Amino acid sequence: MQGLLVVISAPSGVGKSTIIRHLLSVDSNCVFSVSHTTRPPRAGEEDGVHYHFVDDDTFTQIQQSGGFVEWAHVHSNRYGTSVAEVERLRALGRDVIFEVDFQGGRSLMRSYPDAVSIFVLPPSMAEVRSRLVGRGTDDEAAISLRLNNARVEIATAGEYRYNVTNEVLEHAIEDVLAILRAERLRSTRCTRQIRDLVAEEV
Ligand code: 5GP
């Protein structure tokens, strides 16, 4: 049976990466789709693990040869999901997790209408602000920009199949696991089992 395609989006400062990291560590059926990006690696990030880090020319080449299922400009860098990566992971029969912004989310939902789409919401904008301040990586102008971008992204949350609020991290993780569990049990994914049961001679 084909695995699920799971699209997860959230603005920065909402804890999406933490949720995905936990998900991958507790659910061995899930694999992460490693995107391409023109953004330079941050400390601790590994090429081929967190992203495929490429230069502008390489990204453009892949883009122009139709190598991306979707790509988008996010915070002045380009990010894209490669066709090759999706095909490789789908062939494994495992559930593929896509961590993309709302533009990528929209494209993937259009390309794969069966995709399980989850938008992670913050409990409040005040909480997003305090998480961004707590990171200590942005100045006040950058924080205002990220908060405005967050509002634009959150406005698209209704396009996703599920909304999970990350107020208490453990609960948000449980919610995502519950969604995946239920999605694996959808009747549309059991058609072969049903056919076999109906045909079974006893
Ligand atoms: P960061 O630079 O913080 O790792 O990611 C910035 C944003 O880009 C995040 O919202 C992340 O989900 C998004 N992103 C990462 N990979 C992709 C991708 O392949 N496509 C799109 N559209 N967005 C991505």
Q: What is the pLDDT of residues 182-196, one digit of tens each?
A: 999 999 988 999 999
What ranges make up the beta strands (E) of the chain? 5-9, 30-32, 36-37, 52-53, 68-74, 77-82, 95-99, 116-121, 162-165
CATH number of the domain where residue 122 is located: 3.40.50.300
13 band by pLDDT with thresholds 50, 70 and 90: confident
Q: Please determine, for residue 93, whether its predicted confidence score (pLDDT) is greater than 80.
A: yes
Q: Is residue 73 part of a domain?
A: no
Residue whose CB lies within 8 A of the most ligand 1 atoms, among 16, 62, 97, 101, for a mutation test: 101
Q: Which two tokens stand for residue 55?
A: 């230069």
Atom of ligand 1 nearest to the CA of 8: 12
Is 130 contained in some domain? yes
* Ligand 1 centroid, distance to 198 Cα (angstroms): 45
The pLDDT of residue 138: 82
Quote the ligand 1 centre to 202 CA distance (angstroms): 53
- Domain-embedded: residue 178: yes
> Quick one: CA dihedral 74, 24, 113, 86, positive or negative?
positive
Tell me how far the alpha carbon of residue 170 lies from the centroid of ligand 1, in angstroms: 23
Q: Which residues line ligand 1 (CB under 6 A)?
A: 12, 35, 39, 70, 72, 74, 79-81, 99-101, 103-104
In the chain, the number of structural domains is 1
Is the pLDDT confidence value at 76 over 90?
A: no
- DSSP, collapsed to helix, strand or coil, labels residue 170 as helix
Q: Tens digits of per-residue pLDDT, 34-70?
A: 999 999 998 899 999 999 999 999 999 999 999 999 9
Closest atom of ligand 1 to 80 CA is 19
pTM value is 0.94
User: Does a structural domain hold residue 69?
Assistant: no
Show the domain range for 22: 5-32+93-199
Contact 163, 121 (CB under 8 A): yes
- 111-125: average pLDDT: 97
Q: Is residue 65 part of a domain?
A: no
Residue nearest to atom 17 of ligand 1 (CA): 100
11-25 mean pLDDT: 94
Average pLDDT for 119-132:
95
137 pLDDT band (50/70/90 cuts)? confident
- Model confidence at 25: pLDDT above 90: yes
Residue 43: predicted pLDDT: 87
The dihedrals phi and psi of 44, each to the nearest 5 degrees, come to: 90, -10
Task: Give 74 Cα–ligand 1 centroid separation in angstroms.
Answer: 7
Q: Which two tokens stand for residue 164?
A: 């999970």
Residue 107 pLDDT exceeds 90: yes
